[in-house]
């Protein structure tokens, strides 16, 4: 027997592949558990069998206790948010974004129709009239652009004015 063979057959030591297979996890997950201190790190690519099993069982026990000590925390948080949204809607503090988009489209169209040709109504000089119309069109385009930029924030329930 070579020294290398005896080293690889050292009692109580297993390879990363063997440890991962035993614990039914990937070798990568095994390294993560070792890095986090749940199981001992490998020495020359090998793990102490008893310590790996004991560490993994302790890791699972702590995980179960953490979950059971705070069951449904995420669910409770989601329910709380849903209740707050329903109340806000009932109190008319919440508006559907589809309605907001429709109102903006209506308003923008109304402004454009009402302001169309205002340059001619204000000035008989065609150059000044076209400058007025161009300035109004640019302002309305900025209005539409700002709305388009604010809409995703509104949909995420962020402050669209921030």
Q: Do 64 and 99 fall into the same domain? A: no
**Confidence (pLDDT) at 53:** 92
**Confidence (pLDDT) at 99:** 83
The verdict on residue 80 lying in a domain is no
φ/ψ of residue 42, rounded to 5: -70, 145
3-class state of residue 122 by DSSP? helix
The verdict on residue 160 lying in a domain is no
CATH number, domain at 26? 1.10.238
The verdict on residue 74 lying in a domain is no
Long-range contacts of 14-20 (CB under 8 A, 24+ apart): 14/46, 14/47, 14/49, 14/52, 15/45, 15/46, 15/47, 16/42, 16/45, 16/46, 16/47, 19/47, 19/49, 19/52
Say if pTM beats, i.e. exceeds, 0.95: no
Q: Do 7 and 65 fall into the same domain? A: yes
Q: Do 64 and 100 fall into the same domain? A: no
Q: Do 9 and 64 fall into the same domain? A: yes
Q: Do 147 and 107 fall into the same domain? A: yes
Structural domains counted in the chain: 2
Domain boundary residue, one of 35, 69, 103: 69
Q: Do 99 and 65 fall into the same domain? A: no
- Residue range(s) defining the domain that contains residue 38: 3-69
The verdict on residue 101 lying in a domain is yes
The verdict on residue 7 lying in a domain is yes
The verdict on residue 121 lying in a domain is yes
**Confidence (pLDDT) at 66:** 76
Over the chain (162 residues), the average pLDDT of each successive run of 10 is: 53 90 90 92 90 92 78 72 77 72 90 90 92 93 92 78 72
């Amino acid at each position: 027997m070579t020294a290398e063979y005896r080293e690889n057959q050292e009692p109580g030591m297993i390879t990363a592949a063997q440890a991962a297979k035993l614990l039914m996890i990937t070798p990568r997950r095994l390294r993560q558990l070792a890095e986090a201190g749940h199981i001992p790190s490998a020495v020359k690519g090998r793990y102490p069998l008893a310590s790996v099993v004991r560490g993994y069982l302790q890791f699972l026990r702590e995980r179960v206790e953490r979950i059971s000590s705070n069951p449904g925390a995420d669910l409770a948080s989601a329910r709380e948010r849903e209740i707050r949204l329903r109340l806000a809607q009932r109190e008319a503090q919440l508006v559907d974004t589809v309605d907001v988009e429709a109102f903006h489209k209506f308003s923008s169209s109304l402004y454009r129709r009402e302001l169309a040709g205002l340059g001619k109504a204000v000035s008989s000089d065609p150059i000044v009239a076209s400058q007025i119309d161009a300035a109004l069109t640019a302002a309305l385009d900025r209005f539409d652009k700002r709305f388009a930029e604010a809409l995703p924030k509104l949909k995420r329930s962020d402050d669209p004015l921030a």
